[in-house]
Amino acid sequence: MAPSELAPPLVVTDALVIRQDAARAVGRSDLRVDRGRFSHVGPNAPREGATVIDGRGFAVVPGFVNTHAHVAMAPMRAIADDRDLAGFLEILFAVDAHRVEADVEAGARAGIAEMLLSGTTSFLDLYYLEDAVARACEALGIRGFLGWAVLDPELTTQTGRPLDNAERFIERWNGRPLVTPLVAPQGVYVCGEEVWRGAKAIADRHGTLCHFHVSETRREVSDHIAKTGRRPVEWLAEIGFLGPRMVAAHAVWLTGREIELLARAGVGVAHCASSNAKLASGGVAPIVELRAAGATVGLGTDSVASNNSLSMLREMHLAGLVQKNHRWDAGALRAQELLDLATIEGARMLGRGDDLGSIEVGKQADFSLIRLDHPTLLPARPEAVVSHLAYSASEESIDSVYVAGVPVVQHRTLVRGDWGRIRADAEAAADRLWAFRPSPS
């Protein structure tokens, strides 16, 4: 399904538009969408043949780009709370081993519903059985950048060789408008050199992104030093893995040299402030230093098992506060920068900076209408609205969401899926999966 071919022309009049263009313009404007893309941004949009929405009570913001998720884990929210990463993974791996394609799809639909209802229109995912996630993306109308997890064959519950599975997945889904398949090494703790090299070869062969976890905890770093004599990012640089189209999640425990290595190689970093804080990864990811070194940084929610939300509004808020407090610098990661990470910078990391992440003529019409009369957006002044998005706006203020000009949420209701049914299926998946939860030790 190509949504841009289905979308009728659409005009939004006199809304408070947060463009996220080069000038970071915020102001009253009309918008027109033709064939899924913005065709007019400014006063007096032509209305011929279009559905017209009165935008006076709304802010319009680009759809959020969530750069690290495991969306199908929705039924596992709260299954391993209040444990560190090692204790968390003990439970997660035990439950994950019993997942089947049907409950992955049910979980993905519930997670995607949560994302759409909080204004996210694109996400980068890392999981297996991604065909089920891809189907859920196409059904509900979100853009999925879907990474098939690869790891050492002797450590996986996947049938067959994970690298082969990833490549077949890419071949099956390449060229779709909403689904972008890619390969995703899980991390140095389960991937040997052959897997990293194999993943890079697949990404190069097919021109895809490559997404991976790195340096999330001190334990991961010290174990890798014990094994190889090198820190994870240094080691990945040495084996020739780093390069553009690579997106690293977490990157909490980095040296100055590793920051340079990532930035120079053009590796993007998905910052997961909530997940890191909840799992007590300790320290604070060097986001300010990474950006100063020229790295592209986005925000990621990680899964609801470690966050426990998929809301990018919450992610902006926490990412900003953690950096400011840790650095004794209230000017660190300002509201505008937080919105940049959640929109245009995230789009750049996905290699789609020319096509997504801002409201500009020619770009895909992925955007949300946000109610300016919601209490968390008061005062609804143009000079305050970016701060509201970064620090105070509630998900409940997000009235309607469009992907490629197609409505996917209208007045807080999913358009292309029935929440009652999605919820029932995901609850049934949870009933099955929670039975495999080991008793807490």
Measure the N-to-C terminal CA separation of the chain; round to a whole number of Å. Answer: 48
Q: Write down the least CB distance from residue 181 to Zn ion, Å.
A: 18
Given the complex with Zn ion, which of 113 and 270 has the nearer CB atom?
Answer: 270
Tokens of residue 194, six digits:
């052959």
Q: Write down the least CB distance from residue 396 to Zn ion, Å.
A: 27
Residue-wise burial string across 412-437, b where 16 or more C-beta atoms lie within 10 A, e elsewhere: eebbbbeeeebeebbeebbebbeeee
Q: What residues from 275 to 334 belong to the interface with Zn ion (CB under 5 A)?
A: 302
Residues 122 and 347: beta-carbon distance below 8 Å:
yes
Cα 340 to chain center, whole Å?
A: 14
Q: Write down the least CB distance from residue 320 to Zn ion, Å.
A: 21
Given the complex with Zn ion, which of 272 and 393 has the nearer CB atom?
Answer: 272
Which residue has the closest beta carbon to Zn ion? 302
Tokens of residue 405, six digits:
């000009």
Q: CA 362 to CA 353: how far, in whole Å?
A: 12
Given the complex with Zn ion, which of 16 and 149 has the nearer CB atom?
Answer: 149
Q: Write down the least CB distance from residue 126 to Zn ion, Å.
A: 6
Q: Write down the least CB distance from residue 361 to Zn ion, Å.
A: 35
Given the complex with Zn ion, which of 104 and 365 has the nearer CB atom?
Answer: 104
Q: What residues from 200 to 239 belong to the interface with Zn ion (CB under 5 A)?
A: none
Residue-wise burial string across 260-270, b where 16 or more C-beta atoms lie within 10 A, e elsewhere: bbbbebebbbb
Positive/negative CA dihedral, 342, 343, 344, 349: positive
Q: What residues from 24 to 53 belong to the interface with Zn ion (CB under 5 A)?
A: none
Q: Write down the least CB distance from residue 275 to Zn ion, Å.
A: 7
Packed helices 130-140 and 162-173: angle between N→C axes, nearest 10 degrees:
20
Given the complex with Zn ion, which of 131 and 302 has the nearer CB atom?
Answer: 302
Given the complex with Zn ion, which of 302 and 425 has the nearer CB atom?
Answer: 302
Q: Write down the least CB distance from residue 186 to Zn ion, Å.
A: 9
From 65, 68, 69, select the one nearest 340 (Cα to Cα).
65
Given the complex with Zn ion, which of 274 and 368 has the nearer CB atom?
Answer: 274
Q: Write down the least CB distance from residue 370 to Zn ion, Å.
A: 28
Given the complex with Zn ion, which of 70 and 348 has the nearer CB atom?
Answer: 70
Residues 336 and 24: beta-carbon distance below 8 Å:
yes
Q: CA 380 to CA 48: how far, in whole Å?
A: 30
CA angle 309/25/366 to nearest 5° reads 45
8 three-class SS: coil
292: Cβ contacts below 8 Å, ≥ 6 apart: none
Indicate the length of the chain as a whole number.
Answer: 441
Given the complex with Zn ion, which of 390 and 433 has the nearer CB atom?
Answer: 433
Residues 365 and 404: beta-carbon distance below 8 Å:
yes
**Residue 5 neighbours by CB distance under 10 Å:** 11
Given the complex with Zn ion, which of 85 and 359 has the nearer CB atom?
Answer: 85
Binding-site size for Zn ion (CB under 5 A) equals 1
Given the complex with Zn ion, which of 13 and 308 has the nearer CB atom?
Answer: 308
Given the complex with Zn ion, which of 302 and 399 has the nearer CB atom?
Answer: 302
Q: Write down the least CB distance from residue 358 to Zn ion, Å.
A: 26
Q: Write down the least CB distance from residue 300 to Zn ion, Å.
A: 7
Q: Write down the least CB distance from residue 128 to Zn ion, Å.
A: 13
**DSSP symbols for 253-296:** S--HHHHHHHHHHT-EEEE-HHHHHHTT--S---HHHHHHTT--
Residues 146 and 125: beta-carbon distance below 8 Å:
yes
Residue-wise burial string across 330-355, b where 16 or more C-beta atoms lie within 10 A, e elsewhere: eebbbbebbbbbbbbbbbbbbbbbee
Does residue 103 belong to the site contacting Zn ion (CB under 5 A)? Answer: no
Q: CA 166 to CA 270: how far, in whole Å?
A: 21
Q: Write down the least CB distance from residue 213 to Zn ion, Å.
A: 5
Question: What is the binding site for Zn ion (CB under 5 A)?
Answer: 302
